[in-house]
Amino acid sequence: MDAATKAEFDQQFRAVQVLYFAMLAALAGYLVIGLVLGSARTPNTTASSGQWARIFYFLSLCLIGAAYLVKKRMVRPLSARLTPTDIKQCLTSFRAGHLIPYVLCEGIGLLGLLALLLGGSRPQFINLTVVAFALMILLRPKRIDSSFS
């Protein structure tokens, strides 16, 4: 792999890192907003709020699966037998392959905030937010190893 391509991979990695930390900060913001809003109101314990919580948990499971699938398919390791066009394709899918799963993780945090606003309890909100944080940490950006060449 030539030096220009390696530099482009490094630039993409730095951009993904900036996006990653910005989205972690947004999740922290959701947590603060939810805790402030949650302390100012009493939880609604009706049957509909329990049904909403189950729906949001199911949607969160779907988002978790989608995040893993997208990252697995879009961010592929490099190998010595890749052609320069394949390497360029890996480069173009690197940023999107990280950004899409992070947006899906943000969606889990937003579902938690929405559950809280629709009458859910604070533990439901915290559960969904912690899941979003954990998934973000598990899907953190990793530098693509280009040392094969």
Q: What is the pLDDT of residues 1-16, one digit of tens each?
A: 678 778 888 888 999 9
pLDDT at 146 over 60: no
Amino acid type, 23 = M
Residue 35, number of CB atoms within 10 A of its CB:
15
Across the chain, mean pLDDT equals: 85
